[in-house]
Structure 1
Amino acid sequence: MGLTSNKVLALAVLAGVLLFAGTVWLWPRLAHGGVRAVLGRVGLLFATQAAVFAAVGLVANQSFGFYGSWADLFGRENGQGVVVDHASGATGGPLRVVGDRKVTEAGGGRPEASGRIDEVRVVGRTTRIATPAYVYLPPEYFQARHRGRTFPAAVVLTGYPGTAEALVDKLRYPRTALDLARAGRMRPMILVMLRPTLAPPRDTECVDVPGGPRTETFFAKDLPEAVGGHYRVSRGPGNWGVVGNSTGGYCALKLAVHHPDVFAAGAGLSAYYDAPNDPTTGDLFQGNEERKNHANLWWYLKNRPAPDTSLLVTSSRSGETNYADTLEFIERVKSRKPTRISSIILESGGHNFNTWRREIPATLEWLGGRLGGRTV
């Protein structure tokens, strides 16, 4: 049974309840002195607390999508890094669909009524990075009257470590995009949903690591190329956007700033503005000061020509640690034409899924207004 399985969660909760009840029932028998009684009390307390902690941890993981598997949890997931080769023929292209799922049961779950979510595997043509992803296709994609229509697209990124499934099930990007389009608040668009962790368990912060994974190149070049070669994505400048939360938010802003010819807009939900240096990242720059500065959005916007792109940042006055930095970032970007800056500032909201769900509808509406040549 997988880490995110409801059966695992139910068993952990059941074990906690039974051990608690057993502790209450057996405690009088173990109340007397003696080594066996003391060891019995210690064992019951330890087992009960372990079961309760496991249940709480599983609930938190289900809610926030920190880890997707047991291997991911214990740092043993390493099969989705840089690949050397891949099969040829029909299954060897840069993007391969391996499954699909419904967005909603409305209209019987038919794609032409509610769209479709494809589960795909992407292999970067130039970086040789392989990663899973989900692709949301709006209902118009399948409707006969739109058979020749192309659509703008957006890359949607999780935080670190994150799971791509959380973008679908917890943050509800496809369902939100569908509802907004039905209400006429945004144009139908394709969403490419994945996590920025392309060489797990390492957090590469969407950086081209010297001698390591070239994750920025993957997102800026290989991913749009692979998706555009398989799906009907609008061609030409101004048709791709990128959005993410936390680490994914930093990546989204950086990709839009570094590659305005690819990404017409980038939205960072609860983003930070410089790549961290900690045990999860390792040495991303190998002592190269120029690469380090390049990844620092404060430095880049001050020392490089202002990019012709649109940026959106979000925070909250109470609950987010990036509030002061976000206000300063807005002020700095305002003076850097032609870069455009917008914001969503909540009164309160922590660094969590509930806060991001409150920001996503307005973010997608903003993003849709800036793709396909629009700059509303």
Structure 2
Amino acid sequence: MGLTSNKVLVLAIVIAAGLFVGTVWLWPRLARRSWRAVGGRVGLMLATQVALFTSVGLAANQAFGFYASWADLFGKETEQGIVIDHSANGSTGGPLQVVSTSDVPGVRAARPETGGQVQKVDIIGRTTHIATPAYVYLPPEYFQPQYRTRTFPAAVVLTGYPGTARSLVDKLNYPRTAQQMAKDGRVQPMILIMLRPTVAPPRDTECVDVPGGPQAETFFAKDLPEAVLTHYRAGKRPGSWGVIGDSTGGYCALKLAMHHPDVYAAGAGLSPYYRAPIDPTTGDLFHGDARLRNRADLSWLLQHESAPDTSLLVTSSRVGEHNYNATMRFIARVQATNLTRISSIILDSGGHNFNTWRREIPPSLQWLSGRLTDR
């Protein structure tokens, strides 16, 4: 049974409840002062607490999608590569391969022409050789005959760290939200490419081109759009692409839009931070390269380099988010430029969690849609 299985969660809850009942039932018998009685009391208390914390941890992981599997939890994830079937002449089947298709969760529709479709794909970068799984949402219009020659705007959607790409589909509900909002006329139909910013797991690369290491920024700025364009009818003009993410994904979204305005016309950061951290999960990202380190600091970038011609959206809350003051300073710095455009969503309260981001995703998608073209 997998880490995110409902059966595992139910089993943990049953064990915790059973240990609690057993502790209450057996406590009178263990009330003696012998070492066996004391040991029994300590053992029951420890077992009950471990079971309780395990249940709470599994429930939290189910809700927020921190880890996708037991291997992911213990830092031993093995799905780091994709098998590519090479033909005799050395060519491959393309940088993007569709693994499976499914309906949009929460949308009742018999066909993709009416409800859209979610495709699980494997992507391999032509230049970076980074391989990663992703999910692609295709709107109903993509399958309708009258739109067969139309291209669609595309939005890259990024999780936080560690995060799971699947959580973007069935926890944060990006496909269902985009489908319903387009149906209501609040956004235009868009292709969503949903994945983790962690393209070299378990390392948190912070979307940085690490010297001598994973070229994560190049993957998102070059390889990912090229792979999508080989397989889907996404718009090819710079104004056709945007990027949105939460937490680490929010930082990456802002950085990609600022570093590569020729690729991403808009970037939305939900609860973002504004400079790449260095910690045990990232390792040494810059290897002494001061310019690389400085450009990974978005406030430094605004103060020392030409302002990029792009649109940015940042979100925070007055109570519950630690990035509120940093966000207000960042907004002021962008406003001081003469080219970069800035918008914000500031909630009265809301923590760094899925519930807060679900409140911010609909207006953020509407903002993003208004800044992308379909041709």
Give the 3-state SS of the residue equivalent to 2:25 in structure 1: helix
One-letter amino acid matched to 1:66: F
**Mapped contact 1:78–1:201 kept (Cα < 8 A):** no
Q: CA deviation at 1:147?
A: 1.0
Aligned to 1:273: 274
Give matches, 1:1-376, under 5 Å: 1-80=1-80, 86-89=84-87, 92-104=93-105, 106=107, 108-372=109-373
SS in 2 for 1:306: coil
Question: Cα distance, 1:372 vs. partner?
Answer: 1.1
Structure 2 spans left out of the alignment, 5+ residues:
none
How far apart are the structure 2 equivalents of 1:172 and 1:107? 14
1:244 and 1:268 in contact (8 A); partners too: yes
- Residue pair 2:99, 2:121 contacting (<8 A) in 1 also: yes
Counterpart CA distance in 2 for 1:68 and 1:339 is 37
Shift of 1:295: 0.7
Cα distance in 2 between the residues matched to 1:351 and 1:106 = 27
Deviations 1:244-285 (A, max 9, x none): 000000000000000000000000000000000111111100
The aligned amino acid for 1:88 is H
Superposition deviation, residue 91 in structure 1: 6.7
> Tell me, what secondary structure is at the counterpart of 1:314?
strand
C-alpha contact (below 8 Å) 1:104/1:114 kept by paired residues? no
Aligned length: 372
Take 1:9 and 1:372, find their aligned partners in 2: how far apart are those partners?
Answer: 44
Q: Distance in 2 between matches of 1:114 and 1:43?
A: 53
The one-letter code of the counterpart of 2:136 is V
Give the Cα–Cα distance (whole angstroms) in 2 for the partners of residues 349 and 192 of structure 1. Answer: 26
- Are the equivalent residues in 1 in contact too, given 2:295–2:301 (CA < 8 A)? yes
1:206 is matched by which residue type in structure 2?
Answer: C
TM-score for both structures, normalised by structure 1: 0.96
Stretches of structure 1 lacking an aligned partner (at least 5 in a row): none
Contact (CA 8 Å) 2:182, 2:189: kept in 1 or not?
A: yes
* 1:179, distance to aligned residue in structure 2 (A): 0.9
CA distance, structure 1, for counterparts of residue 221 and residue 11 of structure 2: 43
4+ aligned runs moved over 2 Å, structure 1 = 89-92, 104-109
2:238 alignment partner, SS class? coil
Contact 2:105 2:169 in 1 (8 A): no
Rounded Cα–Cα distance in structure 1 between residues aligned with 2:254 and 2:133: 22
Q: Distance in 1 between matches of 2:183 and 2:79?
A: 39
